[in-house]
Structure 1
Amino acid sequence: MLSLTGRPLLVLTIILAVVAILGLVFLVLRASGMPPMARRRRVAFVVAAAVLALLGPAFAVGATALVVNNDYGFYTSWADLTGSGPAQVAITTGSLVRPGQGTLEVRTVHAHAGGLDDRVIVWLPPGYDPHAARAYPVVMFLPGQPSSPQGTFRHFQFARIATQLVQNHQLPPFVAVFPTLMISPPRDTECTNIPGGIQAESWLNTDVPAYVASQYHVQQPGPDWSLIGWSTGGFCAAKLVTAHPGRFGSATAFGGYFNPIQDQTTGNLFGGLPQLYDQNSPLWLYRHNGGLGGSRLLVVAGRQDAETWRESQQMLALTSQDPNVSHLVFPTGGHNYKNYRSYLGQALVWGARSWSR
């Protein structure tokens, strides 16, 4: 089966749309120059024209949907789209890293508070040395919802941008980890420790950092760990840095929001308890904790991003006098990878200011 996000499916869909439309035009032109047809032939002609009239727009809409999905990364596979896949889908890293752009490893991490195992992608910079005199700092990049570690890695062109920054000496070599965010598919957990259920916040805050620190030559969680998150991952990055001051040196929210979402994709996350909702809101946590406890936050937002701009404004207003909170606001462009990945390099350099030298 053709890949949902692959170019062959998109090209095939466009070709079918063009063929259907041209076929309809051909039938109409041919009919206009023909004598009255027999009844049976006329019925067949009308049916064929009707089918083509339906298929042409349908394939055109399908091609548009594929382009939008590839830009936003909503679904990375047919199983993801239909919800029929297994709880875990294999992570594939082929073609994500070109020669000279470091290496990728797929690791399975056990979630101690919930009993689940899930996958992470670990990016090692060119020349990674497990015996280097100095342990490497870490960037933990949280995907959107629904999305995947490999989809976020690819859409943000992470290997290319990170390698260039290291080679140009704008950043020291570092290790990056891309954890699975949707650990209870298809449910959107909003990286929440659900009462009596999945402990999604602990997975990101405790399990993944502990595993990476035990398996790689990296710094322990703290100032030398930076968070970056896209969309729902941006919300999670902001929540982790406001809920656990000092656990991470910095966090960048790309197109993030600052209050948890509750809808049909999340279910009842907080058991109807307002205090649990508050404790998972970066806005409330920032107010309650009186700031970031020495950590730093970068809000990257677009004025035309209808999905997140309103809450971004609220966070920017709340933190306007805090020197530990920075913002990067761009004037045009909506909620998609293409608009936000332009600022990945700046975000990486900004986050590295928290790292010890």
Structure 2
Amino acid sequence: MNPAEVPLFGGWFVLSTELAAAIAIVAAVRWRHRRTWRLWLPLAVAVGATAAATTYWVLARRDLAPDAAPWTFWIWLSLAVALMFMVPAAWIGARWWRRITGVAAVGLTVVCLALAANQWAGFYPTAGRAWQGLTDQPLPGQISFATLVQLRGNPEPDGKIVPLRSSDRISSFHHRPEYVYLPPAWFSGKVPPHLPAVVMIGGVVTTPEDWVRSGSALQTVRAYAATHGGQAPILVFVDPSGSLSNDTECVDGPHGNVDTHITKEVRPAVVSEFGASDHPGKWAVAGWSMGGTCAIDLTVEHPDLFRTFVDISGDVGPNLGNRAQTTSTLFGGRAADWERFDPATAMRRHGPYSGVGGWFQSEGHHHGPGLTSPQIRATETLSTVARDNGIDVVVRPVPGRHNWQFAAQAFADALPWLMARIDAPN
């Protein structure tokens, strides 16, 4: 088997790693002095359990669906923390081979924890995808802007990905490199056609590349183009956070002026550099998790720029806890900004919309006659307000888990509907 094709969501590699970790843990326990373990084992177990409980509480408080995590995540988290506590405590006076067993147990347990977290979020299905993402390899089909100029008029059946030269002069938001996918139709003719465009946004812990590496957006749009004469939207992979630890919810606030960055820097750059249509009916925003919240928020706030959204498993609004916590942390205590960026409030204040539409697709589990989850409840709330204010909506509750695989399938489900809207005559 090609090493790049080693599966990370299950199969022989995951099972072998878990077995090796279990053997290392048993060896570490077996070869320690009994008196040492009688002293430290109960403390280590308590520390590990406390770490798992605290993590669950923090995730639940942030509405990040800890119930969706595989049970192995909590097991390996508890074991990893317990071993990190215990092994250093027993280090002094231990023989070299005992130290090696302890270090091996810690290392393998951390690897198992990372594999479980990856299974939960669905970031990397294979070792090759993980290597590309973790080492910042070029995206599939990525070329430089200088090379792009030379391809005008040449057939490009798969399209190309190009870095977006977006500014931060207006927003002062320091973003990571952003990208644009140009479909086959873009390369035909002497000048770029005025194609529709879709802004793509990931979750809280995200990079601009995630919709390509984890969300299969490139495969989805290429497949669509192959059956529609090369016609497909320009995809704009933006950076909504600037780092992996900065939850902006795509608003303007202390965490960064992301709303301003997308509306006043990214969108104009795509129009000016790649000839995308400037008509709001030709523009959409699609996102998963936090990105789903961003999608509806950007559209209902800026119907003069975007007329279509795809909200995949988003929240009912920008969320860093309850309303008071969100107002304090995300908006610096400014209640007026919470009201501005809350999509339900924005829709009610705007009143009837014209020509705006949205696709809601959220995962849930069976409960009684239907499906339920925090995301489905958010969809029910927002879709009702949207309909009441003249927005055409499609609502699709689907069994599934809150991960990138669900996001990838949801985008594939929505793309034909999306293109019917944004590729229609103005």
Per the TM superposition, whether the score is higher than 0.5 is yes
Distance 2:96 2:272 in 1: 70
User: Which residue of the other structure, out of 92, 106, 111, is the alignment partner of 2:163?
Assistant: 106
Aligned match of 2:22 = 21
SS of residue paired to 1:148: coil
Aligned match of 1:213 = 271
1:132-164 Cα offsets, whole Å, 9 max, x none, are 574111111112111012112222211211111
Aligned match of 2:119 = 67
Distance 1:105 1:238 in 2: 26
Aligned match of 1:147 = 206
1:184-229 Cα offsets, whole Å, 9 max, x none, are 663212111227x732111112210001101012111411112111
Distance 1:306 1:6 in 2: 33
1:30-70 Cα offsets, whole Å, 9 max, x none, are xxxxxxxxxxxxx9799589847777655543432343344
SS of residue paired to 2:317: coil
Contact 2:185 2:230 in 1 (8 A): no
Asked whether 1:342 is paired with 2:409, we answer yes
Which residue type is aligned with residue 303 of structure 1?
G
Aligned match of 1:328 = 396
Question: How many percent identity over aligned positions?
Answer: 20
SS of residue paired to 1:140: strand
Which residue type is aligned with residue 316 of structure 1?
S
Contact 1:297 1:325 in 2 (8 A): yes
Choose 277-286 or 148-157, whichever is displaced more. 148-157
Distance 2:200 2:412 in 1: 13
Q: How does 1:283-322 map to 2 (within 5 A)?
A: 283-304=344-365, 306-320=373-387, 322=390
Change in CA separation of 1:7 and 1:68 when aligned onto 2, cut-off 3 Å: farther
Aligned match of 1:223 = 281
Contact 1:301 1:312 in 2 (8 A): yes
Contact 2:182 2:234 in 1 (8 A): yes
Asked whether 1:192 is paired with 2:251, we answer yes
Change in CA separation of 1:335 and 1:170 when aligned onto 2, cut-off 3 Å: farther
User: Which residue of the other structure, out of 305, 323, 340, is the alignment partner of 1:279?
Assistant: 340
SS of residue paired to 1:352: helix
Contact 2:249 2:319 in 1 (8 A): yes
Distance 1:106 1:336 in 2: 26
1:12-40 Cα offsets, whole Å, 9 max, x none, are 886554334346778999xxxxxxxxxxx
Aligned match of 2:419 = 352
Distance 1:193 1:223 in 2: 24
Structure with greater proportional helix content = 2
Distance 1:56 1:131 in 2: 56
Which residue type is aligned with residue 211 of structure 1?
A
Distance 1:19 1:186 in 2: 31
Give the TM-score taking structure 2 as reference length: 0.65
Number of residue-to-residue matches in the alignment: 328
Report how far residue 116 of structure 1 moved: 4.0
Give the TM-score taking structure 1 as reference length: 0.76
Which residue type is aligned with residue 417 of structure 2?
W
User: Which residue of the other structure, out of 116, 126, 141, is the alignment partner of 2:184?
Assistant: 126
CA RMSD for the aligned pairs?
4.1
Which residue type is aligned with residue 258 of structure 2?
A
Report how far residue 183 of structure 1 moved: 2.9
Which residue type is aligned with residue 61 of structure 1?
L
Long gaps (5+) in structure 1: 30-42, 82-89
Contact 2:356 2:391 in 1 (8 A): no
Which residue type is aligned with residue 350 of structure 2?
N
SS of residue paired to 1:308: helix
1:149-180 Cα offsets, whole Å, 9 max, x none, are 21122222112111111221288333111111
